[in-house]
Amino acid sequence: MAKHKLQRFAETATFSNFIQPPPYHYSEDYPLKGKWSKEFFKNDHPLILELGCGKGEYTVGLARIHPENNYLGMDIKGARMWRGAKTALDENISNAGFLRTHIGQIEQFFEKDEISGIWITFPDPQPQKPRTNKRLTSQRFLKRYEKILNPDALIHLKTDNAAFFDYTLEVISENGHKRHFHTHDLYDSGLENELTQIQTHYESMFLAEGKKICYLNFSLKQ
C-alpha cells in the first residue's frame, strides 16, 4: 500500500492540474492567490472550491456539468486526490484542478471575494467535543471562508452524520448566517440535479447501507 501511494505521489507531480506547494508556502501567501482563474485555469470564470475533496468526485462531476465555472478540489491526502486529477486529465476536463494543502491555510491561497462557492462533501464529523473547532463548518472555519467568499456565494454541505448536520444548523443560527435550504433526507426530497447525480465514494457506501444523506446550503453574514 505504501509503495502504491508513493507511485501516485510521483505521478501527481507530473499532472498539469495538480498543485502541491512546498512547505515554505505555508507561512506566506501563495503566488496564485487572487489569480487562480486567470493564471491556472486561463479564463475569467467563477472559482468554486471542494474542501476535503478526497477522490474529487464533486470537483470533477461539477466541472463536467458546469463548464462555465472553474472547480478546485482541496485536501491534504494526495494519494486520494490522484484519482480525480487523473480522471480530469483523461477526459480533458480543463476546468477541474486540485490543490494539496491543509484547509486551515486557505486564506494564504485565495484573495478576498475570489471564491464563488464552497462544497463540503462528507467531511470528518470530528465527534469528540474538544475537536469541534476542527469541524469544517465550525465558526472558526466559517470566519476563514468569509475572508475569501464573494457576497453571493453559497456553501453546500452533504453528510450522512445527523449529529454533525444538526451542529452545523446550530452554528448557522447562532452566528446570524442565512440558511437557504436543508433536508435530513436528500434522496426523499424530490431534488434531481447534481446533488443526487454526483455521488462520492463514501456516499455510495452509505446509501448501500441504507443511511440517509443530509444536505444544506447557506450563505455567510457579511
Residues comprising the chain, all counted: 222
Residues annotated catalytic, as ranges: 124
Across the chain, mean pLDDT equals: 93
pLDDT at 12 over 70: yes
C-alpha atoms less than 13 angstroms from C-alpha of 86 in its C-beta half-sphere? 13
Query: What is the per-residue pLDDT for 136?
Result: 97
Query: What is the per-residue pLDDT for 221?
Result: 87
List phi, psi (to 5°) of 144: -70, -45
Query: What is the per-residue pLDDT for 8?
Result: 81
d(CA 179, CA 31): 34
Cβ atoms of 162 and 83 within 8 Å: the answer is: no
CATH number for the domain formed by residue range(s) 45-219: 3.40.50.150
pLDDT at 222 over 70: yes
pLDDT mean over 59-88: 95
pLDDT at 182 over 70: yes
For residues 21 and 67, the model is more confident at 67
Residues 94-131 have pLDDT tens digits of: 999 999 999 999 999 999 999 999 999 999 999 887 88
Cβ atoms of 156 and 71 within 8 Å: the answer is: no
% of the chain at pLDDT higher than 70: 96
Query: What is the per-residue pLDDT for 26?
Result: 62
Query: What is the per-residue pLDDT for 3?
Result: 59
% of the chain at pLDDT higher than 90: 81
Strand partners, 118: 49, 155
